Copies of this chain bind each other. A is one copy, B any other.
Amino acid sequence: MQTMLKQRAPSAAGKQAPAALPRVAPKVGRARVVAQAAPATAKVAAPAISRDLVDKCINAIRFLAIDAVNKSKSGHPGMPMGCAPMGYLLWNEVMKYNPKNPDWFNRDRFVLSAGHGSMFQYSMMHLTGYDAVPLEQVKSFRQWGSLTPGHPENFVTPGVEVTTGPLGQGICNAVGLAVAEAHLAARFNKPDVKPIVDHYTYCILGDGCMMEGISNEASSLAGHWGLGKLIALYDDNKISIDGHTDISFTEDVAKRYEALGWHVIHVINGNTDVDGLRSAIAQAKAVKDKPTLIKVSTLIGYGSPNKADTHDVHGAPLGADETAATRKNLGWEYPEFEVPADVYDVFRQAISRGASDEANWHAACAEYKAKYPKEWAEFQALTNCKLPEGWEKALPVYKPEDKQMATRQYSQIMLNALAPVLPGLIGGSADLAPSNLTLMKISGDFQKGHYAERNIRFGVREHAMGAICNGIALHRSGLIPYCATFYIFTDYMRNAMRMSALSEAGVIYVMTHDSIGLGEDGPTHQPIEHLASFRAMPNMLMMRPAGGNETAGAYKVAVSNRKRPTTIALSRQNMPNLPNTSIEGVAKGAYTIHDTEAGAKPDVILMGTGSELELAHAAAVALEKEGKKVRVVSFPCWELFEEQSAEYKESVLPSSVTARVSVEAATSFGWAKYIGLKGKHIGIDDFGASAPANILYEKFGITTAKVIEAAKAVMA
């Protein structure tokens, strides 16, 4: 059942907020929430400061945001103005964090899924004393080189957990953070000592996040998993960029979340009802087997007499006149960027509170260490985020005479070789485990009540899967998330993958069925442009290994790169282990696997990747029989090749050899960079078709014969 908290009378210590609702007439035809009062079940004591001071603290949040957005002439004041009471409550009463050590392991995680409201987060961080956000940084909001960019960016601002802005990503990241906590808690905590892993994950999300499908995916999983320490506050302000949400968003969100298995509470007046918010959070914590959604009805731009409750206040500065009117309306008598001392006095208590919380945790750790030295050592080894010494020795090496397999099978072998030596490896597939071959055999399924397990069943939810893995990675506790689907379905999760790359989350994307080689499922399932599309993406390592050694090499690169995601494209079909393919070669991005006698200049260079490297190799052998000098270059990762020295690159692809052919069952797009204007690419620049794989290769002309023909043409 959904619990509703009505607007409360002000606490005895305080008085009514300056204006319950500013003079904004409700829009005609717009249904406002009218809910029955329900008694709060949890008793929560109000803190020992006056309501006046509480309101002052809340208004300080609002005006820092207003002033910063005005100064930068760009930004989103409406969300911070509406959510300021949540900010006050979370940072001043609820959350456990240490402003002076934002990396403290056992901190509560906060995610601003409504990332455009970044000034909300910067206001809170400034007020509570984070070193990254002194007043100068607030004043530099959205400026080049500042620590206060337009949207929260974990790689810029210490204390920001994840990068948000693209709507819906944040709530999924929050699910990932909660997964990480649940997993580590189940693995390490012991019943007879204080827990060493024990934090909540809080998230504020808005109407935009709620409309995005990705949030439904992740929320369905969070409900399924029963992540009781995930508490999401839904800023139900009923305004989005196009205007009132009733033009496109009239569903019953609370009921949907109940259907997803969440505990749902409604705070009807989020603008002033701090007690109601407090009580709601207490109730949320009391329900331990479900995540909680607190629907907090607010007015966007609360306090602005002429713009509150309109989209004008969503994404544009209030401007001088309206700012003055808002100051008057809220009784805020301080000049721009001035925070009253008594407000700082309240918020900066976070520093001592945080130090004390962290000290208590260290004490708990000491107790744990004394009683469970082995587990403590494991915990430390994992959470220091360093890879175990010699882990890469677990990767197998293959010889040409070994049985042919598909690279998805080699991938399965790698995952299972690494699972025992990498205790942080955790992940799974979007309902394609038997096809992606991604189960770690030493582990069971991560499920409600079985959080210590490491195989995650994501269901058919690719986009949330990626974003959840970002959250797991950015928990920064040594977990190495991987996730899997058919390569084509990266199209469903592309923004999450881009967010991995942008936010330096070293997620491993295991993408099988990487070409028309998947056969009969046809063009809806056959990637063509995907390799190019990821090669073009900054900070993404796009690997397409050929055979067992290169698959091992791809995993070595992927695991080593903890701040760079790797996508590994893997075949459905078998391929040989070609001579000279190697783990070391993969690390260089491209390398020669077959050459003419030492020192001789090749007549032609044939380049290939993955399942087509075999065609290049076979073509070379055939051409050599005709007296040609042929080099074969395996090209598993363009990005790594670009990072090699100019000498190395020249040694692999000498400028003097302009007769070049590439072969890859994918678009030619991009290959001109390596084959030049005169080179030829054997591939496919159109959609595939439904038929057995061998027929498709023949029909689309991706064959050894075509490589030979192209080689002869470029040599002519």
Which residue numbers of A lie inside 8 Å of B, CB to CB?
A: 72, 74-75, 115-116, 142-146, 149-151, 153, 163-168, 207-209, 211-217, 220-221, 223-224, 240-242, 245, 247-256, 258-261, 311, 429, 431-435, 445, 447, 457-464, 488-489, 491-492, 494-495, 498-499, 501-502, 519-525, 528-529, 532-533, 535-539, 655, 667, 669-670, 672-673, 676-677, 685-687, 689-692, 695-696, 699
Contact = CB atoms under 8 A, between A and B. Distances in A.
A473 to B, nearest CB: 17
A208 B215 CA distance: 16
A660 to B, nearest CB: 10
Contacts of A216: 213, 216-217
A255 B248 contact: no
Nearest to A207: B460
Contacts of A491: 166, 494-495, 498
A10 to B, nearest CB: 34
A248 B221 contact: yes
Given A223-B251, A247-B457, A533-B533, A687 B524 contact: no
Given A460-B167, A498-B491, A447 B677 contact: no
A261 B251 contact: yes
Contacts of A258: 252, 255, 259
B242 A251 contact: no
A529 B537 contact: yes
Nearest to A533: B533
Copies of this chain in its oligomeric complex? 2
Contact of A241 (B220, B435, B461, B535): B435
Contact of A165 (B253, B447, B521, B687): B521
A601 to B, nearest CB: 18
Given A241-B431, A536-B533, A685-B538, A144 B461 contact: no
A630 B256 CA distance: 62
21 contacts: A75-B520, A143-B695, A146-B690, A150-B525, A163-B524, A165-B524, A208-B460, A211-B217, A211-B459, A211-B460, A212-B213, A212-B460, A213-B213, A241-B433, A241-B434, A247-B447, A250-B261, A252-B260, A253-B259, A538-B687, A677-B677
Contacts of A248: 221, 224, 431, 457-459
A539 B213 contact: no
The 7 closest A-B pairs by CB, nearest first: A213-B213, A248-B459, A149-B690, A165-B524, A144-B691, A255-B259, A529-B536
Nearest to A540: B529
Contact of A251 (B143, B220, B686): B220
Contact of A492 (B166, B435, B538, B655): B166
Given A144-B696, A676-B676, A242 B432 contact: yes
Nearest to A210: B460
A695 B145 CA distance: 11
A463 B533 CA distance: 18
A706 to B, nearest CB: 18
A642 B249 CA distance: 43
A142 B538 CA distance: 38
Contact of A495 (B429, B434, B457, B489): B489
A89 B431 CA distance: 31
A676 B677 CA distance: 6
A213 B215 contact: yes
Nearest to A248: B459
B699 A144 contact: yes
A525 B151 contact: yes
A142 B536 contact: no
Contacts of A220: 211, 249, 251
A539 B144 contact: no
A250 B226 CA distance: 11
Nearest to A223: B251
A311 to B, nearest CB: 8
Contacts of A670: 532, 536, 669-670, 672
Contacts of A253: 259
Given A142-B691, A532-B670, 19 more contacts: A75-B520, A143-B692, A153-B523, A165-B524, A212-B217, A213-B213, A216-B217, A221-B248, A241-B434, A242-B433, A248-B459, A252-B260, A254-B259, A255-B255, A255-B256, A502-B524, A536-B667, A655-B677, A676-B676
Contacts of A464: 213
A670 B691 CA distance: 30
A240 B488 contact: no
B447 A149 contact: no
A703 to B, nearest CB: 15
A240 B459 contact: yes
Contacts of A259: 251-256, 258-259
